[in-house]
Amino acid sequence: MKNNFFLKVEFSRIAELIDFLVQHCEELRITREGENAGIEARGLEMDAALSARLAILYPEIEVNIIEDGKRERFEPDLPVTLRGILNCPNPNCVTSQPREPALPEFVVVSRRPILLLCTYCGRYLNQNRITAELFKVNKKVPL
C-alpha cells in the first residue's frame, strides 16, 4: 500500500537515500532543517525490504507517516530474519553463487549497533561492511 511519508535524516547522508527513494515514490520534496534534511515522499510503498533498508543503513533516521495532514511517528520494522533483502558480502558463501538457488538470509543479532549473522555461511555482517550496494539483491528462483 502506498502512503505519504516524512523522513528526517542528517543532511550529509541524503544523497544515496534520495537516489533510492526517487525510484520508489511518486513525488519527492526536500527541505533543509538545520543539520538535517526533511524529505517528503509521496506515494511511497513501505514494504519489508525498504523498512529493513532504512533501519539498517540509517539507524538514526526519523520516519513519520502522514495521515490527514498529520505526522505520526513510524518505526521502520526490522524482523528477526531478513530473507532476500540484502546480499552476503562473503564471496565464498553459497548465497553468493549466482547459479545456486539459495536466497541470502540473515538473523539480526543486534539492532544498535547493527549486527547480522548469515544463516548459510555463519559469518557476521557488521555496520562497517554494510553498504547500499548489498541491498541490490538479484532475486533468484525461490525454493
Residues that bind other proteins (CB under 8 A): 90, 92-95, 97, 99-102, 109, 117-124, 143
Number of residues binding to Zn ion, judged by CB under 5 A? 6
The binding track of 83-112 with respect to Zn ion, each residue x by CB under 5 A or -, is -----x-x--x-------------------
C-beta closer to other proteins: residue 43 or 101: 101
Nearest CA among 116, 125, 40, 127 for reference residue 78? 116
The answer to whether the CB of 81 falls within 8 A of the CB of 52 is: no
C-beta closer to other proteins: residue 15 or 109: 109
CA distance 79 to 77: 6
Residues near Zn ion, by CB under 5 A: 88, 90, 93, 118, 120-121
